[in-house]
Chains A and B, each alone.
Chain A
Amino acid sequence: MTSRLGMVTSGSLEKGVEVRLDGGVSVEDMAVGRYVTIEGSRKRFFGIISDISLGVTDPSLTVAPPGADPFLSEVLSGTSTFGTLRVAPYLTISGDADSILEGPQPVKTIPGHFSAVNLASQADIELVFGKEDEKRFHIGTPLDMETRICLNLPELVKRSNGVFGKSGTGKTFLTRLLLIGMLQKSAAANLIFDMHSEYGWAGTREGGAPVKALKQLFPSRVAVFTLDEENARRRQVSTDFVVRIGYDEIAPEDIALLRQTLNLTELAVEAVYQLRRRFGRSWLQDTVSLEDAEQIRELTEALRIHESTFQNLQRGLGTIRRLPFVVAHAPDNAVERVLGFLDQGKHVVLEFGRFNDIAAYMLVANLLTRRIHDRYRERTERAMAAGSAAPTPLVITIEEAHKFLNPEIAGNTIFGIIAREMRKYNVSLLVIDQRPSGIDTEVMSQLGTKITCLLDNEKDIDSVLSGVSGKGTLKTVLARLESRQQALIFGHAVPMPVVIRIREYGSENSYRHLQENAPGPARERTEKDVEELWQ
């Protein structure tokens, strides 16, 4: 069923078309972000309502408004006084066979005068976003509609992506859904640096019972790693591996990244490289344990480091050494373990437990990612040489992304490199952040699909929307999102920007739906796992 809203009266491709509402349609029933179709004479257009305004035919109406006469208001509404919509057209579908096969195309023109404008129907939305299938994951519904909006996940993971939004707007729930989607519908493996222990076993919910997270829903496909065994035990989470990091695993590059967090000077970071050259792999241990004043003097003189710089460095490194999961010699190689699980097609969630301060998070995330990325690069290059299949795509999820990707250090951190070189080595990022303005613009521009919940800081909005066509339109839509459970998706994985009400998550029903949709092979694998268990 289509319901007619009005007709096109003017407009341009750049600014969108002006639609005059019919007399019977109330502006109060309209909403920014809602979908409409415009029936041109040869093409159909899909667009989003980007602005709503009131118009009068005669300015004297506004100067001397008629009183509260109901008859007068009835006559005037839709004639002398009327509502107008500004609609940004995004896609067209022309009637010929080619375009039906290719699906909707980006707009290059606008509909003619007096084209009829209708609310988009269920079928229209399905035509644009596709139905839920083995590649598409139901992420939510458009505003005021029951149609399912589906994301093409194999397409999504081809690029790095971003989830943004103010604190408390539902980023975590959205991310959890995305991860479940990736787990079910894409061939990619996930590595999640879970700062607040939200994705592995259970997640918190404001004013409610905890919600189940990945491991509870898909036990055979998810491995939970932890840095904090005690915390995991207390929360009764079954972990697959306890991560320990040896001093010898920490490289100067890891320290460089933590410069600001550890309050180190530039010179101190320079000194790290010299110390590494001098002491070899045990440099951290050796540097921190150096206490004798005479020895320190000898060393600083030999390396031409200023003594205060050395003290600054020692203090900073002391912070790292105090982290309980950093030990002299790691009993097992965490990188190998992560890769082992990822190779089996399992998704790895690394919980930080109590160590959720930014220094620990950055150290571990950077350290593991750098090594995993190196291995992936090696494998991809080898696969390219041998002409064999490339390794499974890997998606690394990081929170507080602005700490890793701010303009000062984005050039140096592995995450900056991954975001830039994109999927060449089959590794991409899912960055989660509440301060997108803190992220390097170059990195932002490389993100394929951006999913953003409410943002109200002007700088953040600008940064999320930078380089997007129709920025002005989206800005209005973004600033008007509800503060919970609504998100704007735009970019590579969706044919046009879409505002969604995020799918329900947290009830028994929702879990069942999510599990039901697990693809065939995964279910078979689960069944096989169960059989093996009993043998």
Chain B
Amino acid sequence: MVAGAATTSLEPGRRPIARGKDEATEADIYRSSPQLASLLRSEFTALVAGFRQEGGCHHYLPPVPARIHGFVYLCQPEETREFSRSLAFLTVLLNARLEVPAEELVAAALRVMARCHDDPHAFLVAAGKELAGLLSGDFNRLKAILGRLS
């Protein structure tokens, strides 16, 4: 699950300088300074919420991490639907140490997943109930997530 994204300079520690004071549009900046495209790099963090092994979906951390140079693909709606049949991944999400608040991530993940289901409302209610169980002692956190679902 994408849990964070950033565009930074290629050199670590070097901050990109703001340009384009005299340009009319954003595209004009790249036209006038074509080197920019090669100096900036976009990265995203992916949180491992589960894995597939021998055909089955598991909603907990895999025994081994993803390989270096392993290709990353976007999940297809069918895969998302299959994965979100069980809501056990919510525990992983809530307890992950991330740069973004976990509530944001959970809410975003559920919004995306709901779109893959035939009855998004029913899915969100079921997920909400699961969350209510997990956050039984912390209503404010629960309310923050539920408020971001619609």
Asked whether B146 lies within 8 Å of A80 as measured between CB atoms, the reply is no
Q: How far is the CB of B135 from chain A (nearest CB, A)?
A: 8
Which of chain A's residues 140-198 have a Cβ closer than 8 Å to chain B?
Answer: none
Asked whether B137 lies within 8 Å of A57 as measured between CB atoms, the reply is yes
Asked whether A71 lies within 8 Å of B146 as measured between CB atoms, the reply is yes
Q: How far is the CB of A74 from chain B (nearest CB, A)?
A: 5
Asked whether B139 lies within 8 Å of A80 as measured between CB atoms, the reply is yes
B133 surroundings in chain A (CB, below 8 A): 79
How many interface residues does B have (CB within 8 Å)?
Answer: 18
In the complex, the chain A residue whose C-beta lies closest to that of B126 is A75
Task: Write the B52-68 contact mask toward A (1 if CB under 8 angstroms, else 0).
Answer: 00000000000000000
B131 surroundings in chain A (CB, below 8 A): 75
Which of chain A's residues 274-301 have a Cβ closer than 8 Å to chain B?
Answer: none
Q: How far is the CB of A84 from chain B (nearest CB, A)?
A: 15
Asked whether B136 lies within 8 Å of A57 as measured between CB atoms, the reply is yes
| A407 close to chain B: CB less than 8 A | no
In the complex, the chain B residue whose C-beta lies closest to that of A59 is B139
Q: How far is the CB of A72 from chain B (nearest CB, A)?
A: 6
How many interface residues does A have (CB within 8 Å)?
Answer: 15
In the complex, the chain B residue whose C-beta lies closest to that of A78 is B129
When A and B form their complex, which 3 residue pairs have the shortest distance between CB atoms, in order from nearest?
A75-B128, A79-B132, A57-B136
B129 surroundings in chain A (CB, below 8 A): 23, 75, 78-79
Task: Write the A52-89 contact mask toward B (1 if CB under 8 angstroms, else 0).
Answer: 00000110110010100001101110111000000000
Asked whether B124 lies within 8 Å of A58 as measured between CB atoms, the reply is no
Interface residue from B121, B132, B149, B150 paired with A80 (Cβ < 8 Å): B132
Q: How far is the CB of A7 from chain B (nearest CB, A)?
A: 14
For the complex, what is the distance from the CA of A10 to the CA of B26, rounded to whole Å?
65
For the complex, what is the distance from the CA of A400 to the CA of B93, rounded to whole Å?
72
Interface residue from A23, A78, A80 paired with B142 (Cβ < 8 Å): A80
For the complex, what is the distance from the CA of A61 to the CA of B136, rounded to whole Å?
10
B139 surroundings in chain A (CB, below 8 A): 57-58, 60-61, 64, 80
Q: How far is the CB of A62 from chain B (nearest CB, A)?
A: 9
For the complex, what is the distance from the CA of A336 to the CA of B70, rounded to whole Å?
109
Asked whether B132 lies within 8 Å of A71 as measured between CB atoms, the reply is no
Q: A66-B143, A79-B129 are in contact. Are A71 and B150 (CB under 8 A)?
A: yes
In the complex, the chain B residue whose C-beta lies closest to that of A23 is B129
Task: Write the A7-47 contact mask toward B (1 if CB under 8 angstroms, else 0).
Answer: 00000000000000001000000000000000000000000
Asked whether A75 lies within 8 Å of B136 as measured between CB atoms, the reply is no
B136 surroundings in chain A (CB, below 8 A): 57-58, 79-80
Task: Write the B103-136 contact mask toward A (1 if CB under 8 angstroms, else 0).
Answer: 0000000000000000001001100110111001
In the complex, the chain B residue whose C-beta lies closest to that of A77 is B129
B150 surroundings in chain A (CB, below 8 A): 71
| B99 close to chain A: CB less than 8 A | no
Which of chain B's residues 28-78 have a Cβ closer than 8 Å to chain A?
Answer: none
A-B contact pairs, 24 of them (CB 8 A): A23-B129, A57-B132, A57-B136, A58-B137, A58-B139, A60-B140, A61-B139, A71-B121, A71-B125, A71-B149, A71-B150, A74-B125, A75-B125, A75-B129, A75-B131, A75-B146, A76-B132, A78-B129, A79-B129, A79-B132, A79-B133, A79-B136, A80-B139, A80-B142
Q: How far is the CB of B95 from chain A (nearest CB, A)?
A: 19
A75 surroundings in chain B (CB, below 8 A): 125, 128-129, 131-132, 146
For the complex, what is the distance from the CA of A442 to the CA of B141, rounded to whole Å?
60
Asked whether B146 lies within 8 Å of A72 as measured between CB atoms, the reply is yes
Q: A76-B132, A80-B132 are in contact. Are A71 and B140 (CB under 8 A)?
A: no
In the complex, the chain A residue whose C-beta lies closest to that of B129 is A79
For the complex, what is the distance from the CA of A75 to the CA of B139, rounded to whole Å?
12
In the complex, the chain A residue whose C-beta lies closest to that of B145 is A75
Q: Select the residue from A23, A61, A80 with max chain B CB neighbours within 10 A.
A: A80
B121 surroundings in chain A (CB, below 8 A): 71
A23 surroundings in chain B (CB, below 8 A): 129
In the complex, the chain B residue whose C-beta lies closest to that of A58 is B139
| B22 close to chain A: CB less than 8 A | no
| B11 close to chain A: CB less than 8 A | no
A57 surroundings in chain B (CB, below 8 A): 132, 136-137, 139
B140 surroundings in chain A (CB, below 8 A): 60
Asked whether B138 lies within 8 Å of A58 as measured between CB atoms, the reply is yes
Q: Select the residue from B136, B138, B143 with max chain A CB neighbours within 10 A.
A: B143
For the complex, what is the distance from the CA of A79 to the CA of B149, rounded to whole Å?
18
A60 surroundings in chain B (CB, below 8 A): 139-140
B142 surroundings in chain A (CB, below 8 A): 80
Q: How far is the CB of A21 from chain B (nearest CB, A)?
A: 14
Question: Apart from A57-B136, A71-B146, A79-B136, what 6 extra A-B contacts exist at CB < 8 Å?
Answer: A57-B132, A58-B139, A71-B121, A71-B125, A72-B143, A79-B128
Q: How far is the CB of A68 from chain B (nearest CB, A)?
A: 14
For the complex, what is the distance from the CA of A57 to the CA of B129, rounded to whole Å?
13
For the complex, what is the distance from the CA of A439 to the CA of B132, rounded to whole Å?
55
In the complex, the chain A residue whose C-beta lies closest to that of B143 is A66
A74 surroundings in chain B (CB, below 8 A): 125, 128
B125 surroundings in chain A (CB, below 8 A): 71, 74-75
A71 surroundings in chain B (CB, below 8 A): 121, 124-125, 128, 146, 149-150
For the complex, what is the distance from the CA of A58 to the CA of B143, rounded to whole Å?
12
In the complex, the chain B residue whose C-beta lies closest to that of A60 is B139
For the complex, what is the distance from the CA of A262 to the CA of B143, rounded to whole Å?
74
Q: How far is the CB of A527 from chain B (nearest CB, A)?
A: 67
For the complex, what is the distance from the CA of A72 to the CA of B129, rounded to whole Å?
10
A64 surroundings in chain B (CB, below 8 A): 139
B137 surroundings in chain A (CB, below 8 A): 57-58
For the complex, what is the distance from the CA of A423 to the CA of B142, rounded to whole Å?
66
Q: How far is the CB of A80 from chain B (nearest CB, A)?
A: 5
For the complex, what is the distance from the CA of A80 to the CA of B150, rounded to whole Å?
20
Q: How far is the CB of A76 from chain B (nearest CB, A)?
A: 6
B146 surroundings in chain A (CB, below 8 A): 71-72, 75
Q: Select the residue from A23, A61, A71, A78 with max chain B CB neighbours within 10 A.
A: A71
For the complex, what is the distance from the CA of A81 to the CA of B33, rounded to whole Å?
59
